[in-house]
Structure 1
Amino acid sequence: MRSAVHAAALELMETHSWEELSVPLVAEASRVHQATIYRRWGSMSALLNDVVNEWSATTASLPDTGSLREDLHIYAAAVATSLRAGNVPLILRAVVMDIHPGERRQASPAFAERERQLQTMLDQAEERGEPVPTLAELLELVVAPFYFYALFTEPLTETDAARLVDRLLDLVANRGSAASAPTT
């Protein structure tokens, strides 16, 4: 039932504007009764957040190659590829459309889980003796640009992904070498 509702919502997002999307429309397209959808999700916004959470949980798994640079290259390329998929930017735009000024927002469970996974990747690299960025640096300098571009312009490519990773790791390496340079 969940996959049928998700599939219907995604399909409708490709042919309808955000304002036209509704639980009755999804119910008709998915052949799942409206009451069932309302009982499970409560609103169109909650349904779309669930679609985003499912997408996040099932895309761009985190590799463990033994090299932070290689792990981040693989991860970033997978994110770039998934964000270039036809309806993913539509999902993101729909979720952004549901943000209301002054309303406190909680991090989605999928985002919290992804943060945990990324922190584990960074911790493993640090244990191997590699210089590592903070999680905040990784999110701000590599991850955030993907979503910015996917929402407001053309999604980044795998080449762009590699460039972002290399820039982050070069900054981290330079920070380390500047800290160990002798002072005069």
Structure 2
Amino acid sequence: MIDKQQRPGGRSARTREAVLAAAAQLMHESGEEAITIPAVAERSGVHPTTIYRRWGSAAVVLLDLQTARLSRSAAMPDTGTLRADLLAYGTTAATDIAAPGGLALVRAALEPGARDTPAVRTRRAEVLAQRAAEIQEMLDRAVERGEPALDYRDVIDGLLAPIYLRQILQVDGIDDAHLVHLVDRVLATAAVRPVEP
């Protein structure tokens, strides 16, 4: 017997869609601070008790929203070469982080504040672990094609960190030439890494 909560397209899926759509609208109109359980409930038509039971807090709704946005806008590319995959991913990441709400997940990690509860920390860790696994899967595909072996941390350190840091510090954006430089630097790390015994 299929659990109604797990059934794709069931009431649970419609509830999630309505809540995340309402949260996205509130963020677009007034920023992250506008995402409160009462505001999301009023906008979505979903009872506040249902939102509290499923998400626990507005901060978890925000994290769920950011996860859904990342899945849509920044899916892992599969172009056929590691260099092109990294360039495509870097381009998408640079565009995505510059969009409204693009730094929400980073802010949640750097400035936890009153919204930082055990549920939020758990959800944040899940989101980050999922993203790391997706990056590693892209890198593992490259190894299967005979390309250099990289670890997801190489991509975080060499590609994502500079993109995010420039956005946080409001330094000039990342242009195509700088992205190429970052990707080439990441690829170079594979060439100098010691071979594990």
TM-score range for the pair, normalised by the shorter chain length: 0.7 to 0.9
User: Contact 1:63–1:75 at 8 Å: present in 2 too?
Assistant: yes
Q: After superposition, where does 1:53-64 map in structure 2 within 5 Å?
A: 53-64=67-78
Equivalenced residue count is: 176
CA distance in 1, matches of 2:29, 2:146: 50
For normalisation by structure 2, the TM-score amounts to 0.71
Deviation for aligned residue 1:43: 0.9
- Please point out which of 91, 110, 118 is paired with 1:77: 91
1:68 positional shift? 0.8
How does the TM-score come out when normalised to structure 1?
A: 0.76
The counterpart of 2:166, out of the listed 149, 154, 163, is: 149
Higher relative contact order (CA 8 A, sep 6+): 1
Asked if 1 retains the 8 angstrom alpha-carbon contact of 2:154 and 2:189, the reply is no
- Distance of aligned partners of 1:154 and 1:52 in 2 relative to their CA distance in 1, 3 Å threshold: farther
Paired residues of 1:77 and 1:161 also in contact (CA < 8 A):
yes
**Partner in structure 2 of residue 126 of structure 1:** 143
For residue 19 of structure 1, report the CA deviation from its aligned partner.
4.9
> Are 1:139 and 2:191 matched, yes or no?
no
Give 1:161 shift: 3.1
The alignment's C-alpha RMSD in Å is: 3.1
CA displacement, residues 98-131 of structure 1 (integer Å, 9 cap, x when unaligned)? 357x988445333222222222222222233322
Quickly say closer, same or farther: Cα 1:77–1:17, change in 2 above 3 A. closer
Give the superposition deviation at 1:63. 2.3
* Aligned counterparts of 2:51 and 2:83: Cα–Cα separation in 1: 43
Q: List alignment gaps of at least 5 residues for structure 1.
A: 180-184
Identical aligned pairs, as a percentage? 36
Structure 2: gaps (5+ residues): 1-14
Within the candidate set 66, 80, 84, 1:52 is matched to 66
Structure 1 position 39 matched with structure 2 position 53: yes
Provide the rounded CA distance (Å) in 1 between the counterparts of 2:105 and 2:156: 20
